[in-house]
C-alpha cells in the first residue's frame, strides 16, 4: 500500500491555490477597482493573447481561463516569495 507521507507537502500549496482562486473569482466580478484588476491581470493577458491568436474562449471558458491563470500565477509568486524568505532567514551564519 502506498504511503501518504508525500501528501503533506502538497496541502499548503493546494490550499493557497484554492484561496487565490477564490480571490480571482471575486476580482473577476469586481473589475471596477485597481486591486481587483491587478489580481485578475495575468488571466486577462492570457485571454488577450488567445484572442489575438483566434483561440479565445467564450462564456464559461473565458471566466475559467481568467480565474485559473490568475490563481496559478499568484500562487507561484507567493510560493516563490515564501521559499526565498525562508531561504534567507533560515541561513546559518
In a domain, 39, yes or no: yes
In a domain, 21, yes or no: yes
In a domain, 2, yes or no: no
pLDDT for residue 40? 94
Tens digit of each residue's pLDDT (9 = 90 or more) over 45-65: 999 999 999 988 888 998 999
In a domain, 25, yes or no: yes
Domain that holds residue 33: 13-88
Three-class DSSP category at 80:
helix
In a domain, 3, yes or no: no
In a domain, 28, yes or no: yes
Cα gap 82→21, rounded to integer Å: 18
Residues of the chain short of pLDDT 70, as ranges, are 1-7, 92-93
pLDDT for residue 47? 92
Report which DSSP code applies to 6.
G
pLDDT for residue 79? 93
Strand ranges for the chain from DSSP E = none
The total number of structural domains that make up the chain: 1
pLDDT for residue 1? 44
Q: What is the pTM of this model?
A: 0.83
In a domain, 49, yes or no: yes
pLDDT for residue 7? 66
Report which DSSP code applies to 4.
-
In a domain, 68, yes or no: yes
Q: Greatest CA separation found in the chain?
A: 55
63: cell is 471566466
Amino acid at each position: 500500500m502506498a504511503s501518504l507521507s508525500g501528501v503533506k507537502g502538497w496541502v499548503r500549496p493546494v490550499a493557497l491555490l484554492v484561496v487565490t482562486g477564490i480571490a480571482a473569482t471575486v476580482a473577476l466580478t469586481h473589475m471596477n477597482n485597481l486591486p481587483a484588476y491587478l489580481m485578475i491581470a495575468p488571466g486577462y493577458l492570457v485571454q488577450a493573447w488567445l484572442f489575438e491568436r483566434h483561440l479565445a474562449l467564450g462564456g464559461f471558458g473565458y471566466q475559467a481561463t481568467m480565474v485559473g491563470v490568475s490563481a496559478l500565477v499568484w500562487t507561484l509568486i507567493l510560493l516563490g516569495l515564501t521559499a526565498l524568505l525562508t531561504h534567507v532567514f533560515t541561513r546559518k551564519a
